[in-house]
Amino acid sequence: MDIKIPHSLLTQFLETKASPETIAHDLSLCGPTVDQLHHRKSDDLYDLEIITNRIDSASAFGVAREAAAILPEFGHKAKLLNNPYQNQLTDLGQLPSNQPIKLQILDSSLIPRFTAITLSNVEIKPSPKQTQDWLELSGQRPLNNVIDVTNELTLKYGQPVHVFDLDKITNQTMVLRESKKGEKILTLDGRTHILKGGDIVIEDGAKNLIDLCGIIGGGLSNVDDHTKNILLFVQIYEPKHIRRTSLYTQERTLAAQIFEKSPDPELVLPILIEGVRLLTLRANAKISSNLLDIYQKPKASKPIILDFNWLNRFIGIDLKAQKINSILNQLGFTTKLINQDKISVSTPSWRKNDINTKEDLAEEITRIYGYFRLPSILPANIIPNTQTDPLLKNEYQARSYLSNLGFTEIYNLSLVSQELFASTNLELDPKLVLNNPLSSEYQYLRTSLIPSLLTNLANNRGKTEPPLKIFELSHTYHSNNKTLPNETSTLTLATYGLDFLESKGHLEALAKHLHFDLHFNPLTSPSKPFIQNQSAKIYSDKTLLGIIGVIDPVTTTNFSLQETTIIIDLDFNKLNLKIDPIHHFTPVPRFASIFEDITISSTKPVGNLLSNLQQAHPFIINVSYLSSHQHNHTFHLEFNDPKGNLTQDQVNKIKTTIKG
């Protein structure tokens, strides 16, 4: 979470000559990051990023405590001032003996600490200028002296505080309990929430809900200009309840963000005392009840044993015992020597949730010492004996070669819309729909790259002249009967403005480059979005790799594509398995070859004629296709006898055996 702290407020708790720039720089290196330091007319303002486990530093005092430990490491003197933990109940003098309210807590696990006290004769007026300035700088609106005290306390100490108008609490009775499903509460921001049940709430003597605890106060018991008697209220709530309610009601208030991260229960009473002090001072209020403090002190956590040898091995440098002790003490840890190499470390109350292991202590010591002071060393250990998946290498080979053939690579999003797939007549997988999509545009995991590539072609119309050649190599997703879907490496090529054979030639070149077998069978049944008569299934040996074909006019019209659009869609996982990791070479022929062109008249597909020729005679070592004229097809043949020079007579004899 991000907070804003004015410099003049920070120096209420920190005595130092260091400039705001220095403080910002040093804090960022060793503690909370100062995202920005703003210079305002009358003050400087720190924008700080408070990491989730350090809720203890989400306040002016918390930041000052960090700064007091950090600045001396940079040679700047610094001292922590006005430590609230020193506030004593006796500071409030003799208290009346009456209880502030009639209280019933139905489930004590909801509220680890509950404190309250009443004050009377409050005079509502504006806050002093200093308070108003601090609140405004930190992004809050000053309201009146009473409400502002609660916000100022949170800003200063990171403990949320609430004030009720005591006279608006019917019978001055409070029942703290879990809400029931369907209960309604009006909150201070004017919203009415219908609760899901299990939220921490307070009802008054008339059974009205007057507080959505730990999140936002109720609208029935708020302080206004006529308020005379108030109930000052400082608590700690069970964090998971707070988080759940705050998330679903979308009340991500500062209080909720603090309470869900378990702030220090030991700070509750000191802040109540501070609150009484400020209200007495600013609203002329008089204490009118005893203190109500319900607190089951948590069990003291076990001290952590820290071995200096382990620590220095883990950090990689040699820190002396004295340095380690002084850093820990400065941060509020108490240390006890066990022997020369070991200390026992007790965690201060405000770090109980965050510090549990010796690694946690190592972090504290090293960050204050300064990560930036550590040396940079390349680890010289044994290297693991393992190989990367050949798929990854082959994917790169394919991409790289296609770019050499003039194709441009595209990266599209894996998330697609239903409309996009509908326009290509391709099916999405109903199991691969997001539970919480951002919008319908990014709702499904795509089962095919084809719609994305057609979109790419369409987007380039009028910008880049055809012919266009593009490809994408990415995962497609397919559900199965397991928990996780298959992620299939898929290679899809699209050409725009090339004819079928030109487009197909690129695939054949890729196959030659990667050394995998390739053949084509005409489509025997319709397959969207291809024209059946102008498409083929692509095989390698007996494995179906995919499909090549001309896109049907219905689809190209949907994408406003006017020129011939051809898609080559390949399952790269399967293709990858057809690439032999070791390619074998054959020796070149020792004797001269004879080359001849022959023309065959036949109605069979050229592919069949070609494979017949390849198998026609062992001396025919190469066959290539030249051209066709109606049913006459011309091929170029290389004849070679591995055992000696062939004569023209021999070649002529072989030719007579060739049939269409």
x/- site string to another protein, residues 298 to 327, per CB under 8 A? ---------------xxxxx----------
Nearest of 143, 132, 149 to residue 225 by alpha carbon: 143
116 near 292, Cβ under 8 Å? yes
**Residue 214 CB, nearest approach to another protein (Å):** 14
**Residue 497 CB, nearest approach to another protein (Å):** 13
**Residue 655 CB, nearest approach to another protein (Å):** 28
**Residue 433 CB, nearest approach to another protein (Å):** 8
Would you report the helix, strand and coil content of the chain in percent, each value rounded to 5?
A: 35, 25, 40
Nearer to another protein, 232 or 457 (CB): 457
**Residue 372 CB, nearest approach to another protein (Å):** 5
Q: Which of residues 254-293 bind another protein (CB under 8 A)?
A: 260-261
Q: Which of residues 109-128 bind another protein (CB under 8 A)?
A: none
- Confirm or reject binding of residue 505 to another protein (CB under 8 A): no
Nearer to another protein, 24 or 547 (CB): 24
Neighbours of 459 (CB within 10 A): 12
- Confirm or reject binding of residue 353 to another protein (CB under 8 A): no
- Confirm or reject binding of residue 442 to another protein (CB under 8 A): yes
Please report, for residues 108, 199, 649, the alpha-carbon distance to residue 176 in angstroms, rounded to integers and kept in the order given.
Answer: 9, 10, 109
Helix/strand/coil for 120? strand
Is the bond preceding 529 in cis, omega lying within 30 degrees of 0?
yes
Q: Which of residues 445-484 bind another protein (CB under 8 A)?
A: 445, 455-456, 459-460, 463-464, 468-470, 475, 477, 483-484
Q: Which H or E element spans position 150? A: helix 145-157
**Residue 29 CB, nearest approach to another protein (Å):** 6
The secondary structure of residue 111, as a DSSP letter, is -
| Bridge partner residues of 337 (DSSP) | 343
Q: Using CB under 8 A, which of 250, 322, 340, 381 touches another protein?
A: 381
Dihedral sign of CA atoms 270, 271, 276, 280 in order: positive
**Residue 638 CB, nearest approach to another protein (Å):** 24
Q: Using CB under 8 A, which of 86, 411, 524, 649 touches another protein?
A: 411
Q: Using CB under 8 A, which of 374, 422, 554, 606 touches another protein?
A: 374
Q: Which of residues 203-242 bind another protein (CB under 8 A)?
A: 240
Nearer to another protein, 340 or 381 (CB): 381
Q: Using CB under 8 A, which of 93, 190, 375, 430 touches another protein?
A: 375
With contacts defined by CB under 8 A, name the span among 98-106, 172-180, 267-275, 394-402 that binds another protein.
394-402
- Confirm or reject binding of residue 384 to another protein (CB under 8 A): yes
Neighbours of 2 (CB within 10 A): 11
With contacts defined by CB under 8 A, name the span among 170-178, 384-392, 539-547, 563-571 that binds another protein.
384-392
The angle subtended at Cα 281 by Cα 275 and Cα 284, nearest 5°, is: 105
- Confirm or reject binding of residue 250 to another protein (CB under 8 A): no
577 near 541, Cβ under 8 Å? no
Nearer to another protein, 309 or 634 (CB): 309
With contacts defined by CB under 8 A, name the span among 210-218, 230-238, 431-439, 532-540 that binds another protein.
431-439
Determine the size of the site formed for another protein (CB under 8 A): 89
**Residue 476 CB, nearest approach to another protein (Å):** 11
Nearer to another protein, 300 or 413 (CB): 413
**Residue 416 CB, nearest approach to another protein (Å):** 11
Residues 6+ apart with CB under 8 A from 656: none
Give the tokens for residue 374. Answer: 């550590």
Q: Which of residues 548-607 bind another protein (CB under 8 A)?
A: none
With contacts defined by CB under 8 A, name the span among 300-308, 359-367, 610-618, 628-636 that binds another protein.
359-367
List, in sequence order, every beta strand (DSSP E) within 246-370.
286-287, 292-295, 304-307, 334-339, 342-346
**What does the H/E/C string look like for 530-592?**
EEEEEEEEEEECCEEEEEEEEECHHHHHHCCCCCCEEEEEEEHHHHHHCCCCCCCCCCCCCCC
List, in sequence order, every beta strand (DSSP E) within 414-483.
415-416, 444-445, 468-478
Nearer to another protein, 174 or 362 (CB): 362
Identify residue 231 by its one-letter amino acid code: L
Q: Using CB under 8 A, which of 43, 293, 307, 487 touches another protein?
A: 487
With contacts defined by CB under 8 A, name the span among 110-118, 149-157, 436-444, 609-617 that binds another protein.
436-444
Is the bond preceding 437 in cis, omega lying within 30 degrees of 0?
no
Nearer to another protein, 261 or 633 (CB): 261
Q: Using CB under 8 A, which of 371, 418, 541, 648 touches another protein?
A: 371
Q: Which of residues 17-36 bind another protein (CB under 8 A)?
A: 25, 28-31, 33, 35
**Residue 208 CB, nearest approach to another protein (Å):** 30
- Confirm or reject binding of residue 501 to another protein (CB under 8 A): no
- Confirm or reject binding of residue 437 to another protein (CB under 8 A): yes
77 near 17, Cβ under 8 Å? yes
635 near 623, Cβ under 8 Å? yes
Q: Using CB under 8 A, which of 38, 228, 286, 399 touches another protein?
A: 399
Whole-angstrom Cα distance, residue 252 to residue 248?
9
Give the tokens for residue 413. Answer: 């999003």
Whole-angstrom Cα distance, residue 478 to residue 444?
11
Q: Using CB under 8 A, which of 414, 425, 573, 593 touches another protein?
A: 414
Nearer to another protein, 153 or 410 (CB): 410
Whole-angstrom Cα distance, residue 188 to residue 567?
60
With contacts defined by CB under 8 A, name the span among 49-57, 284-292, 338-346, 528-536 that binds another protein.
49-57
Please report, for residues 189, 433, 483, 540, the alpha-carbon distance to residue 479 in angstroms, rounded to integers and kept in the order given.
Answer: 45, 11, 9, 25
**Alpha carbon 566 to chain centroid, angstroms:** 38
Nearest of 32, 37, 4 to residue 20 by alpha carbon: 37
Q: Using CB under 8 A, which of 17, 42, 389, 656 touches another protein?
A: 389
Residues 6+ apart with CB under 8 A from 56: 62, 65, 158, 263, 264, 350, 351, 354
